[in-house]
Structure formats: C-alpha cells, structure tokens
Amino acid sequence: MIDFGNSFFVILIGGVALFLYGMSMASHSLEKLMAGRITGLLTKLSGNQFLGIVTGVSLTTLLQSSGAVTSMLVGLGSAKVITLRQVMGVIIGTAIGSTITVQLISFDIGAYALPTFALAFAFYFQAKKPAVKNVALVFMGFSLLFLGLKMISVSSHHFADNPLLREFFENIRENPVYSFLIAMIFCALVQSSAVTIGLAMSLVSAGAITQFDSMLWVYGANIGTTSVALIAAAGGNYIGRQVAWAHFFYKTLSVVIFYPFTQWFIVLVEQFQTTPARVVANGHLVFNLASAVIFFPFINKAANLIEKMFPRHPSEVFGAEFVNMNNYQSSALAVSYGQREIMRTADIVLSMIRDSILLFEKPDPVLLESIKDRDNKVDFLYREVKMFLLDHANRSSTAVHQNIMAMIMFLSDLERAADSIDINLIALAIKKNALHLEFSEEGWKEIRDLHEQVVRVSLTAINSFQNRELANEAIRMKRELTKFEIHLRENHITRLNRGLTTSINTSSIHLDLLSEYRRIASLLCNQAYAQDKLSARAEG
C-alpha cells in the first residue's frame, strides 16, 4: 500500500474521502445514464407494494445510495407528484438495495482498484459518446471506492495496535450504546451507510471492535442514513415530511426489534461465513431482508398512522386568501381584495414563465408536474376571483363597474398565459425530449436571451397593473421584444440556409417557441395598452 510517508490518520481520512467521492461519481454517472427514467418510473408507481419494493431495490442498486432515492421521494412528495401510500414499498426496497453496495465492498478486491481505474480512464479519455464516458466514470467511481476502502482497512489495522485507541475501543465495548451513537452520528455526517458499515468491517477485521459492536454499527448506520431524507423534507410539504418520517420510523423500529436478539443473530450469521467483514455484510443483508418481511403485511396500516401523525396543515391547502362572497362591505375594500388576489395569481404565472425554459434543458417530470399544479392553482383563482368581482360589479356604480371589468380582463389574460405554458410550451418540450433533439448552440442562446427579455417585460407589465406610470415602459419593452423576436427568426432562417443540421431538426419547435414567448408577453401587456388609452383620454 502506498502511503507517501503520511500518518495512518491521514490515510484513514483520505480513504474515507476517496470512498465518498468514488460513490458520488458512480452514483451521478449512473443517474445520467438513466436520464429522466428514474423520476418517471417513480411518478408511475401504482398501489402494488411488492412492485414498489422491487423498484426501491433496483433504484438504490443503480444509484448506490438509499439516501439519494429517499430524497428523490421526498422531492416528488413535496411537488405532490406522489403520495405516501404509493412509495411505502419503495422505502422498504431502498433498505434492501443498500445491502448490495455493502456486499460488494465486503470482498477484498482493492488490489484491482488502480488497474481498473487506469483502464476506465483510458476509455473515458478516448470516448466521444456521453454514454460511454458515463459508463467509464461508473467504473472509475467504483475503483476509487475500493481504493478508499483499502486505505481505511490498512489504517484500521494500525489503530487496533495503538495503545490509546485500543483503550478507547475497550471503553466502547463496555458501553454498547456508544458504538451505536458513534455509527449513527458518523453516518449522518458523511450521509452514507455504506462508508459507515465499510469502516465497521475494517475495524472488526483488524480486531479493534467485536462482532457485536460491528452489528451496533450496522444498526446506527441504518438510522443515520435517514438524516438525508429528514433534511430534504425540512422545507417540503406534508407529503415530503410523511415520506421522510416513514423512512425514519421503519429503520428505527427495525433496530428496536432486532437489538435484543443481536447476539443470537450474530451466531446465526456466523454459520455461513467465518470472515469478520463478511459476517457484517451478511448481517446487514439479513437484517434488512427480515425487516422487510416483518413490516410488509403492515404497509397500509403504517401509512394510515404516519398520515395521522403528519396531517396536512390548513396553510398547505391552496385557496383564495383575500376574497369570498361576503367581504364586499365597501367598493374600495372589494376592489382592494380583488387586486391583491390578482397580484397573487400574477406571481404564480411569473414563476411559471421563469421555470418554463428549464423544460427544454432535460426531461424533468417533477418540474412538469409542478408547472401543471401551478396552472391548476391559476385556474382555481381565476374562477374564484372572477365570481367575486362579477358579484360585486352588479352592486356597484358605473365607474367601479368599469374598473372591475378591467381587473377581470387582466385576470383572464393571466389565465391564458398560464394555459399557454401548461399546454403549448409543455407540448413543445415533450416533443423535443421525446425525439432527443438539441437546439444549435447559437439558437439555444438566442432562445434563452428571448426568455430573459420576456421575464423582464412580464414583470414590468404586472407591476404596471398597480402603478400606471409603468404602462408606457411596459409597452416600450413589448415593442422591443417584438423586434427582437423577428430578428431571432431571421437568424434562425439564416442558419437553415447554411444547412445547420441541429437548426433544421428543431426548426418547427424553435419557431413555435419564439411565437409562444412573444404571445405570453403580449397577453400580460394587454392591460398596459388599456391603461395607456385611458391616460390618453384623460389628458385629452
């Protein structure tokens, strides 16, 4: 083993760093190879819990991280793409899938790490296709993982012979709860149960800890890995919290059930393997398989309990905040309520415009569902506010009636702009991604430039609804946007005449996208034109 004259402590830290970096490299490369199929698969999960377990095992094996999969579930839950009941099986499956990595690292194949890395790097250096490069990165990642584990193992043998550390480990043996807490905290910090259990395998192989202590490390790692999902759920909604805490309770209850029988459990596992590291790996495997068998019949009951423990907060129920059919005591108050709700609607539409460009970068089912959810909210607010304003218009004076009609027209334009994103832009994005098309580099930059200008125009137009002095500025910006869009069309046609393949393949999508963005800006500027006409009449 090459140590370059470093201390064994440095080798240990370096080994942990290589292990984590290698796992991260392999995980990210595998995720790129899967593209958008992972989240797409999760969004299509049915009520078949056994299929959910198989899905959880498969995804965790592919991504080499149960934390990554559960964090993904939390994200999908926060976006209201999935429900807790749909993914209870996946949660159990991720625990089983995490054992695959541990099984791999339990074999002493560190001697092949550097040759494999060198060969994989050669392929990566020579490859032209992204898929080949990602496959090479997967092997490079696993090579670093095994190299890091070898370094951990070498340093662990040294620590076992160190008098001070030997005394430390002896104190831990006398207080088993310390081993459990150390493993749980360490796993929460490094956010990887594999590296935690890998360290435990190295320590038990070196004789630093007992086989009983190593199983406590397994228990601690299984609970510590839930911290990834719990952190991800901190800013999410009630579904995200339900998923994260379901994962935590499942792991915790599994440990509570197994802990009293740990010694007997070790004796059972040792019947199949004599190598300490293999005993740990197999113990981890049997622990998660047995937990799955125990909890599988109670999945639906567990889901009911978690949903009751973490119910939907009233604030998470979307609805109108400022208008209802009984709060029109005065015309000024009613108009004020209506304006505040319209501006709330405008903020949602503006967020849809900002995020719409991301649809054309890569397939993202979560973003797709998020935009659809926001369009549904806009539709809901459109109906509620329109009914409120129409009801009040029938009770108001002519001047107030005209003002309310102008508000309804702007609200209608906001709803049509949201529909344009939800229907037309999403259809274009799905078409582009389904055909695996890419815009030309120059064309994509122009689309992004137009999108940025549309966001600026939309923001100014929305602000002009409350500040009429901005109406002229919004109109001026809209006219510049129209000229810019025509200029971009001419540039695209020039690229077509040059025979640029990427421009030819994406021509219809490209031109339709330019038109839709200009149309969205025009819709939001309609009220600015109306206000400009009113100002002109007043001055006349």
User: Three-state SS for 110?
Assistant: helix
- Of 274, 309, 344, which residue is a domain's last? 309
In a domain, 324, yes or no: no
194-239 pLDDT, tens digit per residue, is 888 888 888 888 777 888 888 998 999 999 888 888 887 776 678 8
- Contact criterion met (CB below 8 Å) for 275 and 243: no
Residues near 214 by beta carbon (within 8 Å), at least 6 away in sequence: 200, 201, 203, 204, 276, 279, 280, 283
Q: Are residues 277 and 222 in the same domain?
A: yes
Rounded to an integer, what distance in angstroms lies between the CA atom of residue 447 and that of residue 155? 54
As for how many domains the chain has, the answer is 2
Q: Are residues 277 and 348 in the same domain?
A: no
Q: Are residues 371 and 510 in the same domain?
A: yes
Q: Are residues 293 and 346 in the same domain?
A: no
Q: Are residues 524 and 398 in the same domain?
A: yes
391-442 pLDDT, tens digit per residue, is 776 665 565 667 788 888 999 999 999 999 999 999 999 999 888 888 999 9
Q: What is the mean pLDDT of the chain?
A: 82
Give the structural domain span for 382.
Answer: 331-539
What does 448-500 look like in DSSP terms, one character per residue? HHHHHHHHHHHHHHHHHTT-GGGHHHHHHHHHHHHHHHHHHHHHHHHHHHTT-
In a domain, 534, yes or no: yes
In a domain, 43, yes or no: yes
- Of 277, 309, 341, which residue is a domain's last? 309
Distance (Å) of CA 310 to CA 71, 278, 301:
18, 39, 14
| CATH at residue 377 | 1.20.58.220
| Residues in the chain where the model's pLDDT stays below 50 | 1, 4, 538, 540
Q: Are residues 364 and 246 in the same domain?
A: no
Q: Are residues 349 and 305 in the same domain?
A: no
Q: Are residues 398 and 290 in the same domain?
A: no
Q: Are residues 277 and 393 in the same domain?
A: no
State pTM to two decimals.
0.61
Q: Are residues 296 and 396 in the same domain?
A: no
pLDDT score at 444: 93
What does 228-292 look like in DSSP terms, one character per residue? HHHHHHTTS-HHHHHHHHHHHHHHHHHHHHHGGGHHHHHHHHHTT--SHHHHHHHHHHHHHHHHH
pLDDT score at 485: 94
What does 177-194 look like in DSSP terms, one character per residue? HHHHHHHHHHHHHHT-HH
Distance (Å) of CA 85 to CA 96, 97, 248, 252, 299:
19, 20, 16, 19, 8
Q: Are residues 360 and 287 in the same domain?
A: no
Q: Are residues 105 and 179 in the same domain?
A: yes
In a domain, 316, yes or no: no
In a domain, 320, yes or no: no
pLDDT score at 257: 93
